[in-house]
Amino acid sequence: MPDQPVRDLTDPDWWRSAVVYQVYPRSFADGNGDGIGDLAGLLDRVPYLAALGVDAVWLSPFYPSALADGGYDVDDYRDVDPRIGTLDQFDRVVAALHAERIRVVVDIVPNHSGSGHVWFQAALAAAPGSVERARYVFRDGLGADGELPPADWQSHFGGPAWTRVPDGQWYLHLFAPEQPDFDWSNPEVREEFHDVLRFWSDRGVDGFRVDVAHGLAKDLSEPLASYPAISRDAVRSDGTDVLFDRDEVHEIFRGWRRVLNEYDPPRAAVAEAWAPEGRLALYARPDELGQTFEFDLVQEPWDADRFRVRILDALDFARRAGASTTWVLSNHDLVRHASRYGLPDDVDLGAWLMSDGAEPAEDREAGLRRARAAALLLLALPGSAYLYQGEELGLPEVADLPFSALEDPVHVRTGGRRKGRDGSRVPLPWTADGPSFGFGAGGAHLPQPGWFARYAAEDQAGDPHSTLSLYRGALALRASLPVDFTAEFPAGPSHVVEVVRPGWRSVTAFREPAALPEGEVLLSSAPIGPDRRLPADATAWLRDPA
Ligand code: NOJ
Ligand code: CA
């Protein structure tokens, strides 16, 4: 294995080609055995992350929260949830990661706070029309007595996006009622978030992942426009949608960029934006956040043509926006890709989860094969790549969680019609046995299935053919190979995606085997057959012949 070049913590452009590992803190590692992952657990696992070879860690919310939405209901933007740790421990985690030259990205949730936030509590206590209410979106209702919501807007999690308070006004929440939306036309809200960015930047945080970045600017002009259903496909693509991806949102992020550039090196940021095709890259412009997750690819089945189209489009949109690309296959909101690629292409993932994963049956072997191939393809592309905890173990979705164990508000809010996202948030298996498979000394806040034993990190670490070893090898190689921001995609058989980088290339065979071009095979997701045949559902990296 080549030696890892030392990462330079002063490099201002580190994020452009970084491999960033997402930690969902409550499900990563539990240091005190209470069943909830925490900073002490994360501290213990810093050597694991260093051995994996990631450039940065993104921490999903660890802030004080009533956990109405897995921590994305933040009650205090400047503290750590006592169940997860303390600010002191946070500083220790940052120091330990920095000592390994691993950078730290934290989640920031600006569209809404938690309902326990002091501002929202003050708004509830204050009168209609007060400055306290003006930080959120309070409106009188419709109907003779204001008994109807101010508009027909629906919440992402099901049900109306408005909740009435005792004095008769209503407040907006595009997610759960415990997640009141801020009014971003209010300068006080803007100032507050600039200050929060500085708070964490001063603590040494290297970057921010921006939650619901496409949602901050809304058309709140009276009368409120009708918006009966939320669907990504229906969002207007000219920047004038009522709720999402409005042009004004970019002015907010230009303000953020000015704050982030007060630091040396400038702090990085990545947008979680669900925007119409071609508009995603706008969030990544150099005077804005710099990065935006490329979410078009995660909607695609395991198909060479679909992958090629999405990859080329994303590179093209990024180039036109003066940005680089940010790839992702899985996160805490998506069905894990090892499962997605083991299901028929046309499967409705929501319905599949509701059947406890029984219908249709998942082909675990194919799913894992393809997940490994997809990871190598992704890591061969120019730009940055985000990995989700557990994907380096090849972990599938836990589709058969009992309904009684679910934590995601989606389940309750949709009256049981949707199962929600808990299946990708089950605490990781670190060992093949022991309580909670080594997650902690006690149980796990979401039940782990028995088959988790087969994916234990400890066993995989000692197995050169494991998925963990594949990821380690790929990250070490990636760090040693020349990368720039160009790639070529030579035409070839339609089931093959070939990515040509400076002096090396990656070849992925989708669903059928392919003949490999010349060159030393550096790494492959499956054994190469006789006559240099790359088996179906596999990726190989090759050094170009001198
Ligand atoms: C996106 C987050 O990733 C998701 O988990 C959360 O529910 C919503 N934003 C609302 O904050
Ligand atoms: Ca704990």
Ligand 1 atom closest to the Cα of residue 69 is 7
Ligand 1 atom closest to the Cα of residue 72 is 11
Residues by chain with Cβ below 5 Å of ion ligand 2: 30, 32, 34, 36, 38
Q: List residues with catalytic annotation.
A: 211, 262
Decide whether any atom of ligand 1 lies within 6 Å of the 386 Cβ.
no
> pLDDT (tens digit, 9 = 90+) per residue, 420-454?
999 999 999 999 999 999 999 999 999 999 999 99
Decide whether any atom of ligand 1 lies within 6 Å of the 288 Cβ.
no
Distance 434 CA to ligand 2 centre (A): 16
Residue 158's pLDDT band (boundaries 50, 70, 90)?
confident
Tokens of 504: 């090396």
pLDDT for 482 equals 83
* Ligand 1 atom 11, closest CA: 72
Check whether 381 has a pLDDT greater than 70: yes
**Could you say which ligand is closest to the alpha carbon of residue 38?**
2
For 273, list phi and psi in degrees, rounded to 5.
-125, 135
Decide whether any atom of ligand 1 lies within 6 Å of the 272 Cβ.
yes
**Could you say which ligand is closest to the alpha carbon of residue 215?**
1
117-122 long-range contacts (CB < 8 A, ≥24 apart) are 117/74, 117/75, 117/76, 118/76, 120/180
* Exposure b/e, 136-162, CB count within 10 A at least 16 = b: bbbbebbeeeeeebbbbbbbbbbbbbb
Decide whether any atom of ligand 1 lies within 6 Å of the 391 Cβ.
no
What CA–CA distance (Å, rounded) separates 515 from 506?
13
- CA 504, 506, 508: angle at the middle one, nearest 5? 165
pTM of the predicted model over 0.95: yes
pLDDT for 147 equals 97
Decide whether any atom of ligand 1 lies within 6 Å of the 73 Cβ.
no
What CA–CA distance (Å, rounded) separates 525 from 536?
11
Decide whether any atom of ligand 1 lies within 6 Å of the 408 Cβ.
no
pLDDT for 327 equals 98
Q: Kindly state the average pLDDT of the residues 396-415.
A: 95
| CB-CB contact of 252 with 190 (8 Å) | yes
Q: Write the DSSP string, 355-421.
A: TTT-SSPP-HHHHHHHHHHHHHHHHTSSSEEEEETTGGGTPPP-TT--GGG---HHHHHTTTS---S
Decide whether any atom of ligand 1 lies within 6 Å of the 206 Cβ.
no
Using a 10 angstrom Cβ sphere, with 0-12 exposed, 13-18 middle and 19 or more buried, the burial of residue 2 is exposed
Strand order in the sheet with 170-172: 138-139, 170-172, 162-164
Q: Kindly state the average pLDDT of the residues 283-303.
A: 96
Distance 211 CA to ligand 1 centre (A): 6
Neighbours of 278 (CB within 10 A): 14
pLDDT for 4 equals 52
Tokens of 85: 């740790």
Check whether 223 has a pLDDT greater than 50: yes
Compute, in degrees rounded to 10, the torsion defined by CA atoms 44, 47, 50, 56. 10
What CA–CA distance (Å, rounded) separates 499 from 144?
63
Residue 233's pLDDT band (boundaries 50, 70, 90)?
confident
Residue 317 CA neighbour count, 13 Å, CB half: 24
Distance 407 CA to ligand 2 centre (A): 17
Average pLDDT, rounded, for the chain: 96
Check whether 1 has a pLDDT greater than 60: no
Percent of the chain, pLDDT > 90? Answer: 95
Check whether 519 has a pLDDT greater than 60: yes
Distance 204 CA to ligand 1 centre (A): 24
Distance 212 CA to ligand 1 centre (A): 7
pLDDT for 485 equals 85
